[in-house]
Structure 1
């Protein structure tokens, strides 16, 4: 079953090379999942103003207690800047002991929404897939 997802564009166009980041958080407790998703929505509101952000899909598999994002960036530095952004750091600290997170990244010559989502969906179908760190 494919996850529920929603798209939010960023300010970058994604015509050149891009970095794709897929995050997959599994909540330890069902009661945490809505709070985790709301925290993601708060970050999503800032997306149109994030330098280098092409766009973001938030996704959820509520019956599996999983949620996360597929974000597209112009450069690895743009992703690193987001990861170090204080609101993101605060959320990661708040939830770090409330579940498990996996992250996967890859580069593409340009942003192709259908191809990007298809690859991300294949990764998300693999529960317990090995983690990879962002470049």
Structure 2
């Protein structure tokens, strides 16, 4: 089963090479999942103003206590700027002890929404594979 998802475009066109980041947060307690998802929605509202952001899917698998994002960026520097953005840092600090986060990235010559989403779903399905930490 695919996760529930929602797309939010960013200001960047994504016509050239892109960097894709897939994050997966598993809550330790079911009561945290709504708060984690609302925090993601607060970041999503700012998406149209984020430099280098092509777009974002938020996703959730509520029965597995998992949620996260598939974000598409023009460059690695754009993603790094977002990771260091104070609202993102504050959210990560607020929930860092409330579960486990995994992140994967890859580059593509061009943004193909269907292929990007399909690859992200395959990664998310690999729950038992060793994870990587979020890029810094």
TM-score normalized by structure 1? 0.98
Equivalent positions of 1:24-43 (< 5 A) are 24-43=24-43
Give how far 1:129 is off.
2.6
- Structure 2 match to 1:63: 63
Aligned to 2:130, the other structure's residue is in SS state coil
Q: Provide the C-alpha distance between the structure 1 equivalents of 2:33 and 2:129, rounded to a whole number of angstroms.
A: 20
Give how far 1:127 is off.
1.1
Give how far 1:126 is off.
1.2
- Please say if 1:127 is aligned against 2:134: no
Aligned to 2:68, the other structure's residue is in SS state strand
Q: Provide the C-alpha distance between the structure 1 equivalents of 2:7 and 2:25, rounded to a whole number of angstroms.
A: 18
Runs of 4+ in 1 over 3 A off after TM superposition: none
120-129 or 60-69: bigger deviation:
120-129
Structure 1 residues without counterparts, runs of 5 or longer:
none
- Structure 1 match to 2:106: 106
- Structure 2 match to 1:50: 50
TM-score normalized by structure 2? 0.97
Q: Is the 8 A contact 1:105 1:132 kept in 2?
A: no
Give how far 1:128 is off.
3.4
- How many aligned residue pairs are there? 135
Q: Is the 8 A contact 1:18 1:109 kept in 2?
A: yes
Structure 2 residues without counterparts, runs of 5 or longer:
none
